[in-house]
Structure formats: structure tokens, C-alpha cells
A and B are shown apart, each in its own frame.
Chain A
Amino acid sequence: MAARHQRPSAASKSSAEAKRTDLKNNEKKCSWASYMTNSPLLIVMIGLPARGKTYMSKKLTRYLNWIGVPTKVFNLGEYRREAVQSYKSYDFFRHDNEEAMEIRKQCALVALQDVKTYLNTEGGQIAVFDATNTTRERRILILNFAQENTYKVFFVESICDDPDVIAENIMEVKVSSPDYPERDRESVMDDFLKRIECYKVTYQPLDKDQHDRNLSFIQVINVGRRFLVNRVQDYIQSKIVYYLMNIHVHCHSIYLCRHGESQHNLERRIGGDSGLSERGKKFAVELKGFVKEHNLSDLKVWTSQLRCTIQTAEELGVPYEQWKILNEIDAGVCEEMTYKTIEEKYPQEFALRDQDKYHYRYPGGESYQDLVQRLEPVIMELERQGNVLVICHQAVMRCLLAYFLDKGADDLPYMKCPLHTVLKLTPVAYGCKVEMFDLKVEAVNTHRDRPLNKVRSNSMLPPLIRRNSFDPLSSQDQIKRPRLYSMGSMHSHSHVFPPPAFSGTRFSRVSEGAELQQREDSLNGFSTPDTEEGST
């Protein structure tokens, strides 16, 4: 990842300047045109233990990374465990335990140093500081740290007074924590509750009316029953707020599967809009049995607007909803071709795709990266919903799966999503349980493995004219990538407009873009994933 060297105005800013002016100025500089000084964001969790901070931190981080914003969680508990090799009891957390307090403060400082490294030199855009941060003193320390480094700060406070929720949290995640390796449940619960009491003594919640009224934050109250949102500064904070307001902790399962085998599948063609083959129809029938067997209450069924998914859903005999944005990836000029034909007709394109399958965009079509952006509303709605069965397509399913299983761009396009197999995802603790159900109906294998030899070609491709897509693209794709070849301009330099900080696209690549002209080991001389070199 390229280092983000300069933040020109930051160096000259004195920390004596009012934080608000600083933030406001940074915001102006964060205008998409001034990507070079786009401030990283420090999300600071606040809350007593067992309030879901880590749950929200991890989930939020997974979401932000999926939409392309490099984000990392820094969990203070982990730092503390390293510093204090073995945890004895809640006494460590007493507020009058001076020695322990000092250790804990040191841990915080070390963690913040790591945050700084991540945001300044490792291409991170957002750091999530996952700790209780329950005292004003600690928060001031963090605010000063952020100001020195010109990071924006957004607080996420989780407030919960429902004893049942707290008890359940403790059982789900604390009992199996490294702090309690051999304890029995009762004593774990007991010790942990006492630990919480230690924090309560010095807990100062955010004060929206006086002390903290100029800070940017969201208070999540009783697991989302209520939210207080204060001073959202920019687009990414508004997305974070929206996301946090849509997630919930109710038990539910998400079922993902592809349409039944289609005619095109049989002919080894990609894309298109063909109907089900005989075996595909059989699968639909099996799927109906599967749904019945699993006895899902209030199951919602979603399909794309392509025939094969609709035909599959029809067989279920229940109401289903068609989403255009669940349509398969648009292969542009390669639509309805076999891989063999593509290799013959467009050998360069074929090779480019294998080099970087995630970012490669078919001429006149889409890339996996485009897909992720267009699928975002689906993810948001899946978070909101209860039990859902999504009948979709190979590339689409890979993107959805990558979100739930936290797979990055390298792995996503090679995830195995075979036909006639249902994946059941059940959120547990901090992750997702996956169960695979093969419905035992034969089908072709449409999976193309990662090629072993990635041939890197250094030759510049002739400028390919971009065409409109043949099939309607979905509504939600917004690709804010610099165009490699805009007509009417002689310099390739002026075209590397780093993608602006919109919709969470790669803030870090933003700085890469401008620096990239010098890189050599890349496709067409540009290695930023955001340029369209793969598809032009």
C-alpha cells in the first residue's frame, strides 16, 4: 500500500487551534477534489463491558472493508492481555487499583500508536478503537491524539440497561473469552458483573447538552431501540450511522443459493437470460422441499430479475420479491459467450481478468468491485430483515458471501458457490456460522479456479473504446474511478483522478492514484485497482 506522505496543512496547523475549526477546515479539504488531504477517521467506541462494543466494531469494520474502505479494529482488551499475561480477577479493574490503572493507560497509548501506524503508513482509512473509553479523561486523551494527527473522530456509545441483554452478551462472548479459560459459567458471570461495577463507578456517558455537544457521535440505546445522533460531519459518518441503525441482534438465518442449472450453464455460456434446464427444474422442486423441511417462519424470498432465478422461485409457491440489483454480473461484450470463445476473441481481456479478477471490468460490463457497490442496498436490507432466502447468481453470491464471511478482494472472486447447493448463514457471537446443504441434484460445475501462472504483461493496451452495456445495469452502481482514457486530453497524468471519498471507496487508493504514474509492476503502468485498465 502506498504511504500517504503529505498532509500539507496538517503540519502547519498548531494544536492550539480550536478543534472545531480544525475539523471544519479538514472537512473542506476533504472535498473530493482534495483527496490528498482526506482525513482518516478514528471511530471511538464507548460503553460499559458487555454492551456490544466489540460486536458493533467487528461488524462495522467488516461492512466498511467490504464496501472498500480500509478499516481495522484495535481492541484494547487484546493489548491488556498481552501486557498482563494472566487475568486473575475483577480486582484488576477496580478504579482504585493504581498499578493496574497505569498498565491500562499504557496499553491505550500503545494501541493509539498502532492506530497511527495503520492510518499514516499502512493505508488505513478508518481505525475503530474498541475499548470502554468510559471516562472523560480517556476521551480527551484520544481527542488530543486525533487532533495532533488531524484525524476526524466519531464516537459510538452503546448504552444498555436491560439486564437480560447484558446477561446474554456475557454468556455468548465473555464465557469463552481468553480471560476465563477454565472457569465455570456461574463464576464467570459473577466475576464479569463485578467487573462491570468497577467501570460504573467512573462512567461518564457522553453529555449531549453541555460537555460533549460539539462532538460527532451516535448513542445506541438498548440495542437499537433508540439512537441519538449528533453532528454528523461527512458522507462516511452518515453511512456509518445508517449502518448502525439498520443492524440488529435478533436471531435469524440467511439462505443463499444460485438459480437452478440453466440452459446457458449447460452450454457453458456466461451471462444471458436463459431458462432452467431439466435438472435446474428438479433443483427448484428440491428447494421447495428444503424450505418446507426447515420450517422457516416468515421466510422472505428474493430473486433477481433474470429468468432462471424467477423460475426457481416460482416452484416454491410462496410470494417472492424481484431485485434488479441481484442480477448477475454484466459481462458486457462477452455476454453469452463460452470461456473458450472469450479466450479466442478477446485473449488480452481474458488474460487481464485472470490477473485481477476482482477489479477487472468487462468492456461494456461490470467488475466484481462494481457488483459490490450495487449490492450494498441488498446487504443493508438483509441486515434489517429476519429470515431471508436469496436466489441469485454465482458472482452475486460470491459478493454476498464475502460480506458475511469477511473475505477480501483477493478471495472473493474465487469463492466456491456451486449450483444446487444452499448456504445457511447464522450470525453467532462475532461472526457467522455457515452450513452447506447440497440438494443432491446433478449440475455442471461453473467454477473457474485461480490460474496458477499469472502472466504479467507490461505492454500498454491500445485505448479501447468503452461501450454501453447491452443489458440494463442496475441502478445502484456508482463507480467513482478515474477514467484511464478520456478523449480530448493528451496527458495520461491528468486522468488519474483518485476516486473521491464517496460511498466509502478506497480513500487510501486515493493517494495511490496520484503517485502511481511511476509504478512499473502493474497492468498498463497503473496498479491502482480503481483505474479501469483492466477493461479498457
Chain B
Amino acid sequence: ACASAALKDVAAYFTKEYGQVAVFDATNTTRERRAVINSFAKERGYKVFFVESICDDPEIITENIKQVKFGSPDYIDRDIEEAMTDFVQRIECYKASYTSIDDEKDRKLSYIKIFDVGSRYLVNQVQDHIQSRIVYYLMNIHVTPRSIYLSRHGESELNLLGRIGGDSGLSPRGLKYADALAVFIRDQQIKDLKVWTSHMKRTIQTAEALGVQYEQWKALNEIDAGVCEELTYEEIQENFPEEFAMRDQEKYRYRYPKGESYEDLVHRLEPVIMELERQENVLVICHQAIMRCLIAYFLDKPADELPYLRCPLHTVLKLTPVAYGCKVESFFLNIEAVNTHREKPTNVTISRKSDEALQTVPKHN
């Protein structure tokens, strides 16, 4: 009954809410249940892709139970030992009726079987592009404990002047930050840390201070502001007041003339994300808009929030995947810097006055 309620919601999501992909997260361990799902989908013309996770390693299972089940609403008031025993027995109940996807009988189905958290995969009958991307993604993620450190470059000369974009070097305070970052990283004692920067001077200069090998990614370059490159917000308001207003109206999709949008950024960052998933400990030294996109991915922030996420200078964000999400720790390295965060102003209409547009511009030289 619960299953059919869920499937009804799936149908609603597709038809009324324009959803493209629904992930039906349940045990679905019997052939019978899977047949129900298949006919449900067939009736409505949906494609089905099964993702079966098979794991016999008791250590992994115990770890999983600890990490996610104990926080579950089902076990909120139980003692840990008791909860563990109860859950293990729960698993036994399912085992009795568990039929794995049969590679012979089910050979017409599209599915991926994941064995032992990714040590092996069996992929059958991938039908289309999105399924192949799903397979690629699943094959690249892992659960090895690690942390991702995100930071912007140190304060730059153009930051001080309140100008966006460009390719300037670090200000004196920015250089101080680079040194502080080096100390911070050393103190964190991170195993096998990889360091990534963009192709722009300011991130490279920051990484130089670390004294370790780093890799430069063009895909990590700051958002291209096109005709607005190196202008201050005041100058943008003076020269392109309509554009400025339109950007405030829909910051995620707005594309600078001859430049990019946040949406474009997300697209160009996809290989970075994929590689971050494959890697273990990484420090990414990047830029404000880029960092916002990366954080949005890890913290599951929607498009309307993404362009307004706070990524101040001289602050390192440490993301550690846990359970179903990401633990976030913020480290301000105590070096003063300008604020480059511009909130959405109250008036975003094209007819607004100059001071209304510039209401939220942070101070600069």
C-alpha cells in the first residue's frame, strides 16, 4: 500500500511537476515488487533503470548502520547496542525473501548491480544517454572517508577596488592569506592532499605559497563577466543599468553579454565535480562564483539560492561527506579582507533608480 502511494506520487511528479527522473528508494527485493514497478512504468511509458546494491562485507554493513540508521526516526530513543541488534534482525527478515536481479531471467531489464560499494559493477542493457551518465556517475563515487577544502584566492588588487573579474595579482593582505593558508593546511595534516587552482594569477599565487604541487584547471576560472569585466558595480549601473537589473531578477540564468551565466558555470564544472567525486582529499583554490557552484552541489542548494551563497575571502570551507550529506566547517584565517558579497537589492525592476540598484554593493576603495 505504501509502495503504491509512492508510485502515485512518482506519476504526479512526472506529469504535473515536469520531473524527468524519479528515484524510487526502497528495498524492492522481491521479483513480485519489481514486476509491479515495471508494469506501472510500462503503462505510463516510463523507462526503468534498476540500481541494485549487493554487499556481503560485514564491516561495511555495520558502518552503514551506525552512520545512518541510528539517526533514523525509527531508532531515535533506542540504546545503540539494542538498535544494532534490532536492525541486524530487520535485515534477516528481508534476506528470507530477497531475490537478486537474475542475470538470466531479467536480461531484458536495464540495470546496474553494484558489488561491495563499487569494487565491481554489472551493467545490463543501458538504453540511453541519461542512463549511461547515471552509470558513469555511480561508477565514480566512493565512500572512503575524506575531506574537500574549498577556498577562494587571497584578496586581489581588483577586489580592493571593487572591480569584478579580470586577472589581477594578490594584494598585500592576499599574500598574507596565502601564507596563513599554508600554515592552516600543514596543521590539518591531511593525507595525500591534492591542490587545484584555476588558470588565473590570483589562485596560482595563493597556491604557490603552499609549496606543494598543484594542478591548474581552466574549468575553475571565474565566471566570465563579458562586457562587464573589470568594472565596478557602480560602473555597470552607469553603463548597463538594464543588464544590471535583469541580473538581479534572475541571477542564476542571467548571462553577461559576451560572458557567462551561473548556469553555464555549472555545466563547465561538471568534470570538476566528477573528478572531486573520484578523488579523496582535495583543496580547491578558486573564485566566488565557482565556489558557490561547488558548494551548491555538495550541500544540495537550489538554483535560486546558489548565486547568493556566502563565500567570503580568506575563509576555508571544509566539507566532509557524512551519512546522507556533508558536514561543513568554516575556518576564517584571521586576515582582513574586503567583502565582495552583493545581496539581492529590494528593487530589481528595470526602472529602478541608481541608488536602489547600488543599495547592496559592498564597500571598496
Contacts of B213 in A (CB 8 A): 32-33, 497
Distance between A128 CB and nearest chain B CB, rounded to angstroms: 21
What is the bound-complex CA distance between A242 and B131, given in angstroms?
12
Residue B332 is within 8 A (CB to CB) of chain A in the complex = no
Closest to B271 in A: A478
Residue A433 is within 8 A (CB to CB) of chain B in the complex = no
What is the bound-complex CA distance between A467 and B221, given in angstroms?
11
Residue A235 is within 8 A (CB to CB) of chain B in the complex = yes
Q: Which of A384, A465, A473 makes the CB contact (< 8 A) with B167?
A: A465
Closest to A482 in B: B216
Interface residues as binary, B91-112 with A (CB distance below 8 Å gives 1, 0 otherwise): 0000000000001000100000
Q: Which of B126, B129, B192, B205 makes the CB contact (< 8 A) with A486?
A: B205
Contacts of A472 in B (CB 8 A): 224, 226, 255, 258-260, 264
Distance between B276 CB and nearest chain A CB, rounded to angstroms: 12
- Knowing A31-B194, A486-B205 are in contact, say whether A471-B258 is a contact too (CB < 8 A): yes
Residues facing A in B178-193 (CB within 8 A) are 192
Interface residues as binary, A221-234 with B (CB distance below 8 Å gives 1, 0 otherwise): 00001111111100
Distance between B185 CB and nearest chain A CB, rounded to angstroms: 14
A residues sitting closer than 8 Å to B (CB atoms) are: 28, 31-33, 208, 225-232, 235, 238, 241-242, 245-246, 324, 370, 381, 384, 465-483, 486-489, 494, 497, 499-500, 502-503
Q: Are B208 and A225 in contact (CB under 8 A)?
A: no
Closest to A385 in B: B129
Closest to B120 in A: A230
Interface size on B (CB < 8 Å)?
55
What is the bound-complex CA distance between A45 and B267, given in angstroms?
35
Q: Are B132 and A246 in contact (CB under 8 A)?
A: yes
Inter-chain CB contacts under 8 Å: number: 140
Closest to B229 in A: A468
Q: Are A384 and B226 in contact (CB under 8 A)?
A: no
What is the bound-complex CA distance between A488 and B209, given in angstroms?
9
What is the bound-complex CA distance between A465 and B259, given in angstroms?
20
Q: Which of B119, B260, B271 makes the CB contact (< 8 A) with A230?
A: B119
What is the bound-complex CA distance between A65 and B242, given in angstroms?
48
Q: Are B268 and A474 in contact (CB under 8 A)?
A: yes
Given A226-B125, A324-B264, A478-B219, 11 additional A-B pairs, CB 8 A:
A31-B192, A32-B213, A227-B124, A245-B135, A472-B255, A476-B219, A476-B271, A483-B216, A488-B170, A488-B208, A494-B208
Q: Are B124 and A225 in contact (CB under 8 A)?
A: yes
Q: Are B139 and A229 in contact (CB under 8 A)?
A: yes
B residues sitting closer than 8 Å to A (CB atoms) are: 103, 107, 119-126, 129, 132, 135-136, 139-140, 165-167, 169-170, 175, 192, 194, 199-201, 204-205, 208, 212-219, 221, 224, 226, 229, 255, 258-260, 264, 267-272, 275, 278
Contacts of B139 in A (CB 8 A): 229, 232, 238, 241-242
Contacts of A487 in B (CB 8 A): 169, 201, 204-205
Contacts of A466 in B (CB 8 A): 167, 199-201
What is the bound-complex CA distance between A31 and B322, given in angstroms?
24
Closest to B222 in A: A468
- Knowing A226-B107, A226-B125, A500-B215 are in contact, say whether A488-B119 is a contact too (CB < 8 A): no
Contacts of A28 in B (CB 8 A): 192
Q: Are B218 and A479 in contact (CB under 8 A)?
A: yes
Contacts of A479 in B (CB 8 A): 199, 216-218
Q: Are B119 and A467 in contact (CB under 8 A)?
A: no
Q: Are A478 and B217 in contact (CB under 8 A)?
A: yes
Contacts of B124 in A (CB 8 A): 225-227
Distance between B8 CB and nearest chain A CB, rounded to angstroms: 33
What is the bound-complex CA distance between A192 and B229, given in angstroms?
66
